Structures are given as C-alpha cells and as structure tokens.
Amino acid sequence: MLSTSKFVAIALAICLCAITTVVIGRFFQPSEPKLVWTMVNVNTAVQGDAHLIQVKRGKTVLIDAGYPEMAQEQLIPFLQTNQIDHLDLVFVTHAHRDHYGGIEPILQAGIKIKEVYFNLPDKKICDQEIPWGCNYEEVLQYHQMLKAHQAKVKSAYPGQAFNLGNQATLRILYAFDGINTPVGTTDINDMSLIIKLEHAQHQYLFTGDLNHTIGDYLAKNSQELAADVLDVPHHGTEGVAPNEFFAQVGAKYALVPSPQGLWCSDRSSRIRNWFQDHDTPVLVNGFSGHVRVEDYGNRLEISTEKEHDSSVCS
Ligand SMILES: [Zn+2]
C-alpha cells in the first residue's frame, strides 16, 4: 500500500503530466495542411507523371497517372493506403502513355473517376510518332473505357477554372492543340496542358511534357508562369523548355518526376545545372520516392518518402 504522502506526490505528478500534455497539445501540435500535393513516385523503373492534389474539405484531383505498370506498383497502393476511393477531377496533360496509361489500373482497382479532362490529339500529329510515341487507337480506347466507367470525359481549354474548395483554385493556363498554335505545328509534348494551382498565397505550376518550342513561346509571352513550386516539365530532360522558362517561373522548389538514371544522364545536365546555379532545391522521385508538399496557408512544408540529396549525381 502507498503512504498518503507518496500517494499525493504520485497523484500530483500524474496531474502535472496531464496538464503539460494538454498545454503541449494546444500550442505545439501541428495543424493539418489545407492542401497537399504529392508527386507520386511512378518513376521506380521508367519515367512518368502522377500528381495527387488533396484539398482539406475540398476536392481530390489527379494530374496524370504514369505508365500502367508503374501505376499498378506505386499509384494504386498509394491511393488505397490513403483511402482514396474516388477522384473528383483527373487531368491528362497530353496523350503519351507515361501520362495516361495508369488510368486503366485506377479504374480496374475500383477507384471512381468522376470527371476527366483528356484532349484528343490530332490524328496526323499522333501518327507521326508511330511506333515510339502517340497511339491514337489506344487514346480512343481509353476515352471509351472511361465512359464505360461512368466518368465524364471532357476537353480542357485555356481559361477554364475549377474551384477545389477551401480557397483552392485550379486553372488551365494553356492547352495548345498542336496545329493552331502561335508557332505553327508542334509535337504531342507541346500539347501539354499548363495548369496553375493557387491556394492562399501559394502558386504551383504543372507542365506535363512542355518542350522547347512552346516553352520558348511562353517564356517570351506569358505573364502567368510565376510559381512557388514547379513540376519540372518533360521529366527534366531535353528537349525540355529553355532556361528562360525556368527564369520566368522563378520557383523556390523544383519537383522532378524522373527516375535516378534519367535525371543523372547527359539529357538532363542543362536542367540540373540551371537549378544548381540558382540555388533552387530539387526533389526527384527516383531519389526521394513520393514527394509531399503541404500548404498551411501561411507556409509550405516539403517532405519526402526517402531521405536523399537528389542534387547529387555520382
Ligand atoms: Zn510526353
């Protein structure tokens, strides 16, 4: 049995401890982010893009879905772990398989897509990339597959704006059709939707596989490129947008959807050097795994699945 004095002492200690916990809880418990962007790692073997945007008490959005195999290995488990059973909005930036292929495993996994923006490429431009790039028949099949799963399949056009809730807005800045552009015909990559996400004082830019031709045009003519965090176009690899484009964006952080080997190859050296010369932190899927950007309104926090200095290519 405890003596009375010992009992009082222990009771006091428990009581103090409880008070401390409450106080710490009140002042130091981190608040939940209002918006989270995860650059899902669909880059363990080959390159691809998959960006999940979750707005607290708002919409869940996916920009691109990676290759089917990568989606099966990475994206589907990620969505399931995070208990995401539907996507309010899906944007396919352009008709390359490393951007749209993962749509099929998403549907097969029973994850509902409510609305998808997936522009059909011009058949002639698509056929120029046979057999290595665009596959017109498969793109049509994906449209049919989406419709069969009750997804609304729509076209994206510049100026379109989406209210994601909680003061988050997504806008399509550009959606060139590859034919009627200010610089003549382009390839499929330069058809990439250029998407701006805004929340509180932060801006995010998603660029698909924006390449040199349209990238150069935008660098010279657009007033809307500025962003805090940039999804680096075309996996950070040539013939990506010119340095002037990166200068116009002026991002504080650069997220690169690329495997290690591609990011460290000669094809990415100009882009690696540009961000290094501008002291911009770079986070690469191939090194960091999933990369998570948390937006608290007044501040941003970036964390990674794996700890690795992705600026170092040995
Ligand atoms: Zn592409």
User: What digits encode the pLDDT tens for the residues 293-302?
Assistant: 999 999 999 9
Measure 208 CA to ligand 1 centroid, in angstroms. Answer: 7
Measure 256 CA to ligand 1 centroid, in angstroms. Answer: 14
Helix ranges restricted to H, 29-102: 68-70, 76-81, 97-100
High-pLDDT (> 70) share of the chain, %? 89
Q: What is the structure's pLDDT at 132? A: 87
Measure 48 CA to ligand 1 centroid, in angstroms. Answer: 9
The DSSP code for 290 is S
Measure 63 CA to ligand 1 centroid, in angstroms. Answer: 13
Q: What is the structure's pLDDT at 198? A: 98
Measure 312 CA to ligand 1 centroid, in angstroms. Answer: 26
State yes or no: pLDDT of 201 exceeds 60.
yes
Give the separation between CA 272 and CA 287, rounded to whole angstroms.
14
297-to-34, 134, 167, 173, 201 alpha-carbon distances in Å:
7, 39, 10, 23, 7
124-to-135, 177, 276 alpha-carbon distances in Å:
11, 12, 39
Whether CATH 3.60.15.10 fits 31-304: yes
Q: What is the structure's pLDDT at 78? A: 98
Q: Which two tokens stand for residue 78?
A: 């990620």
- Averaged pLDDT, 131-140: 94
- Averaged pLDDT, 286-313: 89
**Residue-averaged pLDDT of the chain:** 91
Give the separation between CA 43 and CA 274, rounded to whole angstroms.
22
Q: What is the structure's pLDDT at 311? A: 56
Measure 239 CA to ligand 1 centroid, in angstroms. Answer: 11
Measure 80 CA to ligand 1 centroid, in angstroms. Answer: 27
Q: What is the pLDDT of residues 236-286, one digit of tens each?
A: 999 999 999 999 999 999 999 999 999 999 999 999 999 999 999 999 999
State residue 119 phi and psi, 5-degree precision.
-70, 135
Measure 98 CA to ligand 1 centroid, in angstroms. Answer: 7
Measure 187 CA to ligand 1 centroid, in angstroms. Answer: 9
Measure 234 CA to ligand 1 centroid, in angstroms. Answer: 7
Q: Which residues surround ligand 1, an ion (CB under 5 A)?
A: 96, 189, 209
Q: What is the pLDDT of residues 2-31, one digit of tens each?
A: 444 554 444 444 444 443 333 333 444 468
Q: What is the structure's pLDDT at 307? A: 84
Measure 262 CA to ligand 1 centroid, in angstroms. Answer: 15
Q: What is the structure's pLDDT at 80? A: 98
CB neighbour list of residue 264: distance below 8 Å, 6 or more residues apart? 272, 313, 314
